[in-house]
Structure 1
Amino acid sequence: MRIGSNPEKFKKELETEIYHRVVIPVYIPHFEDYFKDALEIFKLNIHSLLKTCHEKTRITLFNNNSHSLVKEYLDELYRDNEKIDQVFHSKENLGKINAILSAVKGNLEPLITIADSDVMFKHNWQKEVEKIFINFPKAGLVSPVPNSVSYKYYTANNFFDAVFGSSKLRFQKVVEPSEMQRFEDSLGPEVSLFSEKHLEKYLTLSRKGFRAVMGAGHFVATIRREVFDKGTNSPAFIKIQGGVENKFIDKPNEDLGLLRLSTMSNYAYHLGNVTEDWMFEEFQKISENKPNSFTEYSNTNFLKTSKLKIKIGKAFRKILLSKFLKKKYFKMIGLDDGKNY
C-alpha cells in the first residue's frame, strides 16, 4: 500500500549549478603484461583531474569489469572526493562508448568531457577548452590536445564556416611542437603520425580574433551534450575499433552542423600503458598549481545547420584538399610548401 504523496512529484524541474561533467571508463582486468602499469597510470589520470578541474565539475567513473582491487579503489575515490559523485560497476566489459552513453544519458550538464583512463590533465585544460566553446558558439567537440593532421576528419562545418561564415582559416606556427611529438611517442614506436611540416605549422580557425586548431581527436575531448542527445540511440556492439566512435561522436557532431576544434597549446598528455619518469615529474608540476577557476560557461542554443550547408561544407573540404588545389590553397593561407601536408 501507499500512504501520502511523494514530495518529489511536485518538483517539476531538475536544477544544478554544475555545468561540466567528466566521464572516464576504466578497464583494468589484471596487472600483467599490457596492464602491468595500468593502475599506476590511472592514478595519475584521476588525481591530475581532481587537481585541475573547477568547482562546477562532477566526475563519473565507469568500471568495465575491472579487477576487484580496482573496484575497491574506485569506491574509495567515491567516498573521499566530493567531485566524484558517480561510480558505476559493470560485471561485463561493455566497451568505451556504451560506458560513456550510460553515464551521459542520465546527467544534465551541457558540457561533457570524455577521457581514456590513461590521460593526464594539465593545469588550465578546462578553462582553455571552455574558452573555445564561448568564442565559437557552434563548437561541438573540443580537445585540449592539438593535432595538426586532424583537420581532415569530420570538419565539413569548419570549412563551411571559413568559406561562407564568420571564421577564417590560416596556418600558424605550432605553439608547442615538443608536446605534439610527445603525443606521437606515446602511441608507440611503430606509429608515425607527424611529419616535420606538421610539427612546424597547424591549420587554425579564427573568429573575432580568437583562434583554435582545426579538428580534434577524442581520446580526451569535451562535447556538447546535444551531440549525444541527438545522435544515435542504439547501443554499440563493438568495443573499441571498427569506427564505433565515428558513429556515436564524430558523425552526430558533424550532422548537427557543429565545429570540431582543439586548443592552440597542449593541456593534456596521453600516457599509454607504461609509466615513465617524466610523467611523475609533470604530475608534480600540476600539484604545485592552484585549482582552476571556472569560466561561467552558459549553454547557448544553436540553430541546427541545414543538410544542404553540411553537404556544401563537405564538398568544399574535398575540393580544397584535393591534389589539384591543396598545395596552392595551403600556400595562400600561410603554408610555404603544402605538398604532402
Structure 2
Amino acid sequence: MRIGSNPEKNNKEIFVDNYHRVIVPVYIPNFEGYFANLFEVFKLCLESLLLTSHTKTRITIYNNNSHPDVKNYIDAKYRDFELIDQVFHSKENLGKINAILAASKGNIEPLITITDADVLFKNDWQKVIESTFVNFPEAGMVSPVPSSKVFKMFTANNWYYGFFKGKLTFEKVEDPDAMHKFDLSLGNKELMYKPIHLEKYLVLKNNKGSAVMGCGHFVATLKREVLDKGSNVPAFTKIGGGVERLFIDTPNEELGFLRLATKGNFAYHMGNSAETWMNEEFNSLIKNNENPNFTAHEFCAKPISFLGRKFGYFVKFVLARSKKSTIMLLNFYGLQSNQY
C-alpha cells in the first residue's frame, strides 16, 4: 500500500550541468599470460583520465567480471573521486559494446568518450576534441589520436565536405614519434605505417579550424546520437568481428556525420604492458581544474545533407574499387607518392 505522494513527481525535469561522459569498459580476469601486467596499465589509464579531465566530465567504469583486486581498486576510486559517478559490476563478461550501450543509454550528456582500458590520456585531450566539435558542427566522431591510414574508412561524409564546404590538403604529421609508438603498441609482426605515413596525413579544413581525416575507435568521442542509432539490439560479440563497425562506424556515417582526429597526439595506446616512457609521460601530467565555458547546446548534431551523403558514398566507392583513382586523388591534394 502506497502512503503519500512521491515528491519527485513535482520535480520531473532532469538537468545535468556536465556535458562530457567517459565510458571505460575493463576486463582483467586474472594476472596471468596476456593479462599479467594489464592491471598496472589500467591504473595508468584511469589515473591519467582523472588527472586530465575537466570539471564538467563524469566517468562511468563498466567492470566486465574482472579479478576481485581490480573490482576493489575501482570501488576505491569511485569513493575517492567525484568525477567517477557510476560503476557497473557484471558477473559475466558482456563485451565492450554492451558495456558502452548500457552506460550511454542511461545518461544524457551530448558528448560520450569511449575508451579502452589501456589508453594513457595527455593534458588538453578534451580541449582539442571539444574545440574540434565546435569548429566542425557536422562531426559525430573525433579521436585524440591521429592516423594517416584511415582516410578512406567510413569517411564518405568527409569527402563531400572536403569538396564543397571546406578544403582537403596533405600536411606534415605533427608528432610522428607518437604515431610510431602507436604502431609498436599493436604488437604486430610488421609495422602498419610506412615512412610516408609518418610524414604526411590528409587534413580537412574550414575557416574555423582543421582536423585529420578519419580515426580509429580504441579511444574516440562521439555525439550521443551515434550510439542511440546503433543500439537497437544488443551485441552478441564481445570484441572484434566487426562489432564496432556495426554499432559505431556505420551509424556515424549513415547519420551524415564527419569522422575526424586531432592533428596533435593527445593520448597513447599502451597495449598490455607498461613501459618506462609511459610512466614518464604520466609523471608529466598536470591536474586539470578547468571549468569550461561550453554548454550542451554547442554540441547539437548538424549532419551532412542527404544528397551530400550520396555524393560521399560515390567517392568512397570509386576509391575502394580503384587504386589508380586513389593515387590520382592523393596527387591532386599534394601527396606525390604511390606508396601511401
| Contact 2:137/2:302 (8 A) holds in 1 | no
Aligned residues: 338
Question: Equivalents in 2 of 1:304, 1:332: separation in Å?
Answer: 27
SS in structure 1 opposite 2:310?
Answer: helix
Q: Work out the percentage of aligned pairs sharing the same amino acid.
A: 54
Name the residue aligned to 1:168: 167
RMSD across aligned C-alpha pairs, in angstroms? 1.5
The alpha carbon displacement at 1:96 in A equals 0.2
Pairing of 1:50-61 with structure 2 (within 5 A) = 50-61=50-61
The alpha carbon displacement at 1:254 in A equals 0.4
Name the residue aligned to 1:285: 284
Question: Equivalents in 2 of 1:330, 1:105: separation in Å?
Answer: 40
The alpha carbon displacement at 1:99 in A equals 0.3
Deviates more, 1:203-212 or 1:261-270: 203-212
Residues 19-53 of structure 1: CA distance to partner in whole angstroms, max 9, x if unpaired?
Answer: 00000001000011111111110110000000000
Name the residue aligned to 2:103: 103
| Contact 1:255/1:307 (8 A) holds in 2 | no
Residues 218-273 of structure 1: CA distance to partner in whole angstroms, max 9, x if unpaired?
Answer: 00000000111222410000011110000000000001000000000100000000
SS in structure 1 opposite 2:298?
Answer: coil
Question: Equivalents in 2 of 1:101, 1:177: separation in Å?
Answer: 34
SS in structure 2 opposite 1:217?
Answer: coil
In structure 2, the CA distance between the partners of 1:94 and 1:147, relative to structure 1 (3 Å rule), is same
In structure 2, the CA distance between the partners of 1:191 and 1:119, relative to structure 1 (3 Å rule), is farther
| Contact 2:23/2:113 (8 A) holds in 1 | yes
In structure 2, the CA distance between the partners of 1:20 and 1:254, relative to structure 1 (3 Å rule), is same
SS in structure 1 opposite 2:284?
Answer: helix
Give the letter aligned to residue 12 of structure 2. Answer: K
Give the letter aligned to residue 16 of structure 1. Answer: V
Name the residue aligned to 1:196: 195
| Contact 1:215/1:262 (8 A) holds in 2 | yes
Name the residue aligned to 1:12: 12
Which runs of 5 or more structure 1 residues have no equivalent in the other structure? none
Question: Equivalents in 2 of 1:336, 1:292: separation in Å?
Answer: 43
Name the residue aligned to 2:128: 128
Question: Equivalents in 2 of 1:101, 1:76: separation in Å?
Answer: 24
Give the letter aligned to residue 336 of structure 1. Answer: Q
Name the residue aligned to 1:155: 155
Name the residue aligned to 1:84: 84
| Contact 1:162/1:205 (8 A) holds in 2 | yes
The alpha carbon displacement at 1:318 in A equals 3.0
Residues 1-20 of structure 1: CA distance to partner in whole angstroms, max 9, x if unpaired?
Answer: 11111111122321010000
The alpha carbon displacement at 1:138 in A equals 0.7
TM normalised by structure 1 equals 0.95
| Contact 1:184/1:191 (8 A) holds in 2 | no
In structure 2, the CA distance between the partners of 1:290 and 1:101, relative to structure 1 (3 Å rule), is closer
Name the residue aligned to 2:294: 296
The alpha carbon displacement at 1:209 in A equals 4.6
| Contact 1:130/1:295 (8 A) holds in 2 | no
SS in structure 2 opposite 1:266?
Answer: coil
| Contact 2:135/2:208 (8 A) holds in 1 | no
Name the residue aligned to 1:213: 212
| Contact 1:25/1:62 (8 A) holds in 2 | yes
In structure 2, the CA distance between the partners of 1:293 and 1:194, relative to structure 1 (3 Å rule), is farther
Question: Equivalents in 2 of 1:300, 1:270: separation in Å?
Answer: 27
Name the residue aligned to 2:233: 234
| Contact 1:151/1:215 (8 A) holds in 2 | yes
SS in structure 2 opposite 1:299?
Answer: helix
Pairing of 1:12-51 with structure 2 (within 5 A) = 12-51=12-51
Residues 78-103 of structure 1: CA distance to partner in whole angstroms, max 9, x if unpaired?
Answer: 10111000000000000000000000
In structure 2, the CA distance between the partners of 1:302 and 1:24, relative to structure 1 (3 Å rule), is closer
Pairing of 1:243-322 with structure 2 (within 5 A) = 243-286=242-285, 288=286, 290-292=288-290, 294-297=292-295, 298-320=297-319, 322=322
